[in-house]
Structure 1
Amino acid sequence: MDTIESLKAGPLPRHLAIIMDGNGRWAKQRGKLRIFGHENGVKAVRETVENSAKLGIEFLTLYAFSTENWKRPKLEVDTLMNLLVSSLKKELKTLHKNNIRLNAIGNIDSLPSKAYAELQEVIEKTSKNSGMVLTLALSYGAREELKHAIQEISLKVKNNIISPENIDDTIINSHLYTHNLPDVDLLVRTSGEHRISNFLLWQIAYAELYFMDVFWPDFREEHLAEAIKNYQNRERRFGKTSEQLN
């Protein structure tokens, strides 16, 4: 079994993104409410964040709450928001201990005032940390992100700030929520589903995708190591041939 330490010798994804899926089904298997799954998923978040930092991952982005998740039952949404607030309060010490800087992407303004305030406070308090950047995707949807970017760029074209012929990847990247993050190298999704679910559609253009059957509350060091090991055994060509790489 590969451990976090043993993987440091191989190539590591600079930016790891995870779709944390399966909390509800994990709870249902145990005859519990979906809320029980979300509560137990917090431990997996803590361990994954700490292990990623130990591994030397520069950027870790977690899909915590999508724009579509607002459609879930009010009790579940309220519980998720309360978990966000309590987790941020509890994990501030852990973030400092591991020199982690917190970041957030998405329509953050739509969060409840208490969650928004706590999020901004932890972002500010960790802003001087120089290690891994932990990004929470909250009220996030990739289509909404792209629409927002197109609107901003269109307005600048209209006002003669940008010429249409000059629009390139760099300009598009600079108008995305993730303008301060590199493209994703490895995208992991738990729970056995093989979908992207409106997550970082532009940023994963050349990402390696890895789908795991484990539900998120059961995700541990060995599962992260499995995903990283699989990544290290892949050849990333970016449109080139193997011969060109060698």
Structure 2
Amino acid sequence: MAFTKEHIDPNKLPQHIAVIMDGNGRWAKKKGALRIFGHRNAVDAVREVTEGCGELGIKYLTLYAFSTENWSRPKAEVDGLMELLVNTLKQEIKRLNENGVKLKTIGDITQLPKNCQENLSWAIDKTKDNKGLTLILALSYSGRWEITEAVREIANKVKAGNLQPDAINEQTIENYLKTSGIPDPELLIRTSGELRVSNFLLWQIAYTELFITPTLWPDFRKETLYEAILSYQQRERRFGKTSEQLNPVS
């Protein structure tokens, strides 16, 4: 079946889609090339999913671009990824502005090379007034790191006497997450067929619908995005309740 935008119900769109972009290395290996070749060809997939979400009216798209664990990869691959990030930001800034995309980041950005930090700040500033899709790049990010940072900040508030322990609830923790003010993703897409969440948005995906596709990330196109959204629209989101509670018989 060919999945098209026309199949999607515009009244049942998720506000926020998150993507674990996986399979670049395997894609390159199948081509007989180095892993960085897969990362370079993944730029087209990023462009496709960003444009696809923007065209549909999705409000937030979070891409897992580089995890805290990825720093342990070979230096040549990490250096290549950082260089690719800088070059892609420079090349895509015009397109982002034309499409009204606002850029944000979450993660320990201080760990990135200085030129990456500078280019990220530049791109964020250049797109800050855009009113369309908010594109969130998770860079040097992990869910456990984010939760640890939130706990540390809350502990400091308690230590300073500015917050009572009995006043801490789920909303308190959410206020200190890097995604504060952003709705939790309703749909998480993982490419390459792997069946794990890889330390991504651990707090936020408590009730997120998962869509696993065997497609390797460099081959991801709008049609796969449409397939994921259609799958999402066919599900009943119960949040711990029963179907009968959600749809009582009169």
- TM-score by length of structure 2 reads 0.96
SS across alignment from 1:102:
strand
Q: Which amino acid aligns with 1:172?
A: I
Aligned equivalents of 1:232, 1:84: Cα separation in 2: 33
- For 1:146, the aligned partner's letter is I
Query: Given the alignment of the two structures, is residue 243 of structure 1 paired with residue 244 of structure 2, yes or no?
Result: yes
Give aligned pairs, total: 246
Counterpart mapping for 1:85-124 below 5 A: 85-124=86-125
Contact 1:5 1:55 in 2 (8 A): no
Paired with 2:10 and 2:181, the residues of 1 have a C-alpha distance of 27
Q: Does 1:209 find its partner at 2:206?
A: no
Per the alignment, residue 185 of structure 2 pairs with: 184
Structure 2 SS opposite 1:180:
coil
Q: In terms of mean alpha carbon deviation, does 8-17 or 169-178 score higher?
A: 8-17
CA contact (8 A) 2:3 2:224 kept: no
Provide the rounded CA distance (Å) in 2 between the counterparts of 1:128 and 1:9.
Answer: 25
Deviations 1:70-108 (A, max 9, x none): 001111001100110011011111111111100000001
Distance 1:17 1:78 in 2: 25
Aligned to 1:20: 21
How far residue 68 of structure 1 moved from its aligned partner, in angstroms, is: 0.5
Cα offset for 1:30?
1.1
Q: Displacement, 1:168?
A: 1.1
Counterpart in the other structure of 1:200:
201
| Residue-by-residue CA offset, 1:128-152 (whole Å, 9 max, x unaligned) | 0111110000000111111111010
2 CA distance for matches of 1:129 and 1:5? 26
| Shift of residue 10, structure 1, vs aligned partner | 4.6
Deviation (angstroms), 1:180: 2.6
Give per-residue Cα distances to partners, 1:20-61, cap 9 Å, x unaligned. Answer: 000000000111100110000010001110011001110000
Q: Secondary structure at the match of 2:202?
A: coil
Give the drift of 1:9.
3.0
Cα contact 1:4–1:54 (8 A) shared by 2: no
Q: Which residue of 2 is the match for residue 158 of structure 1?
A: 159
- Where 2:123 maps in the other structure, the secondary structure is helix
Distance 2:246 2:59 in 1: 24
Indicate conservation of the 8 Å contact 2:96/2:127, yes or no. yes
State the match for 1:76 in structure 2: 77
- Where 1:210 maps in the other structure, the secondary structure is strand
Deviation, 1:225, is 0.7
Alpha-carbon distance in 1 for matches of 2:197, 2:22: 11
Please say if residues 10 and 56 of structure 2, whose CA atoms lie closer than 8 Å, have aligned partners that are also in contact. Answer: no
2:60 corresponding residue in structure 1:
59
In 1, the alpha carbon distance for the partners of 2:5 and 2:179 equals 27
1:167 aligned onto 2:168:
yes
> Structure 1 runs of 4+ off > 2 angstroms?
none
What percentage of aligned pairs have identical amino acids? 57
Give the conservation status (yes or no) of the 8 Å contact 2:61–2:135.
yes
Give CA deviations for 1:193-236 in whole Å, capped at 9, x if unaligned.
Answer: 00110000000001001111010000011111110010000000
Partner amino acid, structure 2, of 1:223: T
Separation of aligned partners in 1, 2:53 and 2:10: 15
CA distance in 2, matches of 1:6, 1:192: 24
Q: What's the TM-score once normalised by structure 1's chain length?
A: 0.98
Deviation at 1:4, TM superposition (A): 2.2
What is the RMSD computed on CA atoms of the aligned residues? 0.9
Matched residue type, 2:230: K
